[in-house]
Structure 1
């Protein structure tokens, strides 16, 4: 199984402001999404942003520790485990987890302060033919893929 890892640099923007752009694209493609962060407050901010980002086109979501987690199209969790059957995981706190390699696609969000840690994650896949890496940067409110 091939793994696709996207590195998403959002300088000067909190993840709860930029992650909904990606979540919306995943939903339009019919994909379920797992959003992971150890910090419960961060998960709360991301969850609120998914509801409020575009009120006419809100992104339904729920927490893994609440009833009906398996039915949520976007699941917010402190654990990197997709109880909703998601094959795409967004690591909202910029922390790589070994369990992420069980997904088809992983999105690692980070800011300038997390750049060095993201580089380490990038390097960990240098010798892996089964991993495709992509680097995206937020520019004028849109994600731009860099070479």
Structure 2
């Protein structure tokens, strides 16, 4: 199980998440996007339709249609009704339920750095969990820092 920590400093979530989601879907995998905040889920729903002028990411909010058919599902909890094996936690809150997925993307901003550090340390004690910390380099590309 791999957990990727993305500290959103130079790149906001609305630019980082669609890139990750597109890469997951391009591999044939499915993604569950989790946020406890209703407004954030609605914003992400709109974003994934318009994030590129020439394309969109097929997706839905949980409960809005046939969840099982969605390559990307936006939900308030870690229930993967679309059978996703990848999960993106986008509200800054780590959830141990994410450990049941093959890969977790934990996005957080500066206001959640303390809880992200706590999650990083706690995951060190879990067998089979590989942790990675990603940050933007001077050229604007994500690079693994830990």
TM-score over 0.5 for the pair: yes
Higher mean C-alpha displacement, 17-26 vs 7-16: 7-16
Give the Cα separation in 2 of the matches to 1:99 and 1:107.
13
1:8–1:138: 8 Å Cα contact kept in structure 2? Answer: no
Give the Cα separation in 1 of the matches to 2:106 and 2:79.
15
Give the Cα separation in 1 of the matches to 2:105 and 2:2.
9
1:50-98 deviations in Å (ceiling 9; x for gaps): 1111132310110112121111110000011100000000001011112
The answer for the alignment partner of 1:102 in structure 2 is: 100
The answer for the alignment partner of 1:145 in structure 2 is: 144
TM-score, structure 1 as length reference: 0.91
TM-score, structure 2 as length reference: 0.92
Over the aligned positions, Cα root-mean-square deviation in angstroms equals 1.5
**Alpha-carbon distance change, 141 to 42 in structure 1, aligned in 2, over 3 angstroms:** farther
Q: What aligned pairs does 1:63-74 form with structure 2 within 5 A after superposition?
A: 63-74=61-72
Give the Cα separation in 2 of the matches to 1:25 and 1:142.
15
Q: Which runs of 5+ in 1 are unaligned?
A: none
4+ runs deviating over 4 angstroms: none
Higher mean C-alpha displacement, 103-112 vs 16-25: 16-25
1:51–1:59: 8 Å Cα contact kept in structure 2? Answer: yes
* Counterpart secondary structure, 1:101: helix
Give the Cα separation in 2 of the matches to 1:138 and 1:77.
27
Q: Which runs of 5+ in 2 are unaligned?
A: none
1:5-63 deviations in Å (ceiling 9; x for gaps): 00001115442232111111111111100000000110111121111111323101101
* Counterpart secondary structure, 2:115: helix
**Alpha-carbon distance change, 11 to 42 in structure 1, aligned in 2, over 3 angstroms:** same
